[in-house]
Structure 1
Amino acid sequence: MTSYRDAGVDLDVHSKMHRLAKRVVLETGANLGKYASSITFQGVELVLHVDGVGTKTLVLERLGKLWVAGWDCVLMNTNDVACDGAKPIAVADYIALPRSDENLFKQVINGIERAVKELNLVLLGGETAILPDLANGVDVVCTVLAFKDRQVVNEARIGDKLYGLPSNGLHANGYSLVRKIIREKLKDNYRAVVDGVNLELELAKPVANYTSFLLEAWNRKLIHAAAHITGGGFTKIKRILPRGATAYLKVPEPPQIFKLMIKLGSIKLWEAYRVFNMGIGLVIAADQNAEKELRRLAKQHGYNLIELGHVYRDSRENIIVETWVGEKLVY
């Protein structure tokens, strides 16, 4: 059985580090959000959010597709802030390289350019760090500036229905585990085709754009909450649950790439659903009466809305995931 901890990422320790950081954030006076904290400056609620692409860049560099890292670092951030109802307006990047390599830099910045143009953002600048000895690969991070022009409380309500939008593959999470599996089971062959899965195509898929859909959904008051399914997988849904509530989800069969990783790595489903998005990149909570409009809106943005489950009163405050094979996972 292969776990994320075996690949060097301990999610339990990660949660402890987050709690330490959260204490400092609160002590400094920030308005704590579910995905992005904010401050109020001269009457405007400003959000500043940072995230990086992680070890996916190691795979993208080998495949010659580092533009995806540039795209991902923007969309990971904008999707997050949009979950809290914040509208992104500007980006700053941090690109660390192990050597002075114009080609590597050009690929990354091209991806950032694509993303900011897609979302009509401004690139304010950034930092390009050449770090021999310190960096063994390319590290790509973005910080997004956003603002809130409406009061949004990103929290589900008892009785809400839960819906999902499909992911575009793995997005940018779980790659340390994926790399370990491919190294040990496929001799580091990132261009292999296994069980009909073309790894080169699957591992270089860019993060989906949920930002535009979310901002319109909030503006039209169609949703009560949104959870971006990234690091931590389906445990992310806990962020949007009210006290005294449990979320029950019956999820569809995941795309083949996830089943392949589970098979090759002998990964338990409980581990898989807290590491990968398993084909669902965004979970939203809404009143059942909003479903028709949500389906129409999702379609306009290129997605099929997936009915997943519901939120109900329960003091245990769990996330219950019923998988496509009938196994019930409790988080």
Structure 2
Amino acid sequence: MRILGEDMGIPRSYREAGVDVDRVAEIHRRIAWIAERTFKTRRGRWGEVLIEVGHYAGLIDIGGGKALAMHVDGVGTKILVAQMMGRYDTIGVDCVAMCVNDIICIGAEPVALVDYLVVEEPREDLVVPIMEGLAKGAEEAGVAIVGGETAVMKDIVKGVRDGYGFDLAAMCIGVVDRDKIVYGDRIGIGDCIVGLASSGIHSNGLTLARRILLSRYRIDDYLDEIGCSIGEELLKPTRIYVKPILDV
């Protein structure tokens, strides 16, 4: 049996796709150590940090038995697929999903979000669809977009399509009762695992998936097996799991 990528020059790991995961992990450890040095600034005060860096979200005490959860995330190289396809109305949904889906992992309910959009050029046919996608994702997640930042950085931001380079990220906050925080330390043998169907690749692993698929196909190639083009499949928005999880 031939393994995909064997003797074909197709990457089979993040390392082969150009991402050194060990080096990234080491950098993350250094970042966490530096960040945690600042925890002492709120110790014994309102806003005291409740959880170390490395969980799905940060947590601070806000009194009344409540904690504020915070998470920031982006959509990574899925942006390049959007540029290749010239379609920008779904990438905002991904951005919201990447934030709120992590917030719920610690038991919090997402409530608000701010976005950061940086563009190569201020094009209406780029910015408006992105914002519409953000709004669609926010409505599905039950969060309000309460602000954000839009910056034009032509000298820094580039892409695979001239004039349409951009990056997108957001920061989300949520609220959780302190006695209902999910740390993951109570998972044990005999627990029931419930799986929820995804909507596709989502927004993680796109670097590897993109390089594997585009080494064999064009972005607009139609595949009968999936009923759409490669680009359309890769652009399927990340499923937002807030409502089904909060209903549990």
**Alignment TM-score, normalising by the size of structure 1:** 0.61
AA at the equivalent of 1:111: G
Residue 154 of structure 1 aligns with which residue?
183
* Structure with larger RCO (C-alpha < 8 A, sep 6+): 2
* Number of residue equivalences: 215
AA at the equivalent of 1:15: A
Instruction: Give 1:60 shift.
Output: 1.3
Instruction: Give 1:106 shift.
Output: 0.4
AA at the equivalent of 1:91: L
Q: Aligned equivalents of 1:25 and 1:147: distance in 2?
A: 22
Which contiguous aligned blocks of 4+ residues in structure 1 show a shift greater than 6 angstroms?
A: none
AA at the equivalent of 1:129: A
Residue 59 of structure 2 aligns with which residue?
38
Q: Aligned equivalents of 2:76 and 2:221: distance in 1?
A: 22
Q: Aligned equivalents of 2:141 and 2:194: distance in 1?
A: 24
- Tell me the SS of whatever aligns to 1:185: coil
Instruction: Give 1:195 shift.
Output: 6.1
Picking from 28, 37, 47, the partner of 2:38 is: 28
Picking from 83, 104, 107, the partner of 1:61 is: 83
Q: Aligned equivalents of 2:110 and 2:25: distance in 1?
A: 26
Picking from 220, 229, 232, the partner of 1:191 is: 220
- Tell me the SS of whatever aligns to 1:39: strand
Equivalent runs, 1:80-91 vs 2, <5 Å: 80-91=102-113
Answer whether contact 1:36 1:49 (CA < 8 A) is retained: yes
Instruction: Give 1:57 shift.
Output: 1.1
Instruction: Give 1:76 shift.
Output: 1.1
> Alpha-carbon deviations, 1:27-73, whole Å to 9, x = none?
33232263111111344411111000011011012223312111111
Instruction: Give 1:208 shift.
Output: 0.8
- Tell me the SS of whatever aligns to 1:100: coil
- Tell me the SS of whatever aligns to 2:247: helix
Instruction: Give 1:10 shift.
Output: 2.0
- Tell me the SS of whatever aligns to 1:176: helix
Q: Aligned equivalents of 1:13 and 1:69: distance in 2?
A: 28
Residue 164 of structure 1 aligns with which residue?
195
Instruction: Give 1:74 shift.
Output: 0.6
AA at the equivalent of 1:76: M
- Tell me the SS of whatever aligns to 1:48: strand
Residue 44 of structure 2 aligns with which residue?
none
Residue 171 of structure 2 aligns with which residue?
143
Residue 320 of structure 1 aligns with which residue?
none
Instruction: Give 1:5 shift.
Output: 1.8
What is the RMSD of the two structures over their aligned residues, measured on CA atoms? 1.9
Instruction: Give 1:105 shift.
Output: 0.4
Q: Aligned equivalents of 2:199 and 2:29: distance in 1?
A: 30
- Tell me the SS of whatever aligns to 2:189: coil
Answer whether contact 2:91 2:235 (CA < 8 A) is retained: no
Equivalent runs, 1:1-331 vs 2, <5 Å: 1=5, 2=11, 3-29=13-39, 30-32=49-51, 34-43=55-64, 44-136=66-158, 137-149=165-177, 150-155=179-184, 156-186=187-217, 189-194=218-223, 196-197=225-226, 198=228, 199-217=230-248
Structure with greater proportional strand content: 1
AA at the equivalent of 2:29: R
Gaps of 5+ in 1: 218-331
